[in-house]
Amino acid sequence: MAADRSLDLGCRPSAFFAAVFADGADAGCNKEGIDAFQKVFVETKETGVWSGEKLTVYYSISDDQSFLFAFDKSDTAFKIDTDFLTKTDLKDLVSGAL
């Protein structure tokens, strides 16, 4: 995921997304940003986290669009979005990298 300089997360991206998907605020994270991301990626979606030794992946699944936000141990982020892969497909996609 490329760094978006127009978005002030207020904290590390991995901490921000943990707050978004865990429904809580990390100290220093932008609360308004968390609320906005929760409206888009959490409300009325199936959400959760897949964690392993190498990656933490937050998922947001709906009937028409799904997103994965993944972070490695060095806090490098990447995003996958799809309008055709199922939750099982997405889990299979990242399971070898966890």
CB 13 within 8 A of CB 26: no
Name which residue leads in pLDDT, 65 or 25: 65
| H-helix segments, 1-98 | 13-22, 31-41, 87-95
pLDDT digits (tens, 9 = 90+) for 36-58: 999 999 999 999 999 999 999 99
Position 6 scores a pLDDT of 56
Q: Is the pTM of this model over 0.95?
A: no
Contacts of 9 (CB under 8 A, 6+ apart): 16, 29, 30, 33
Name which residue leads in pLDDT, 9 or 50: 50
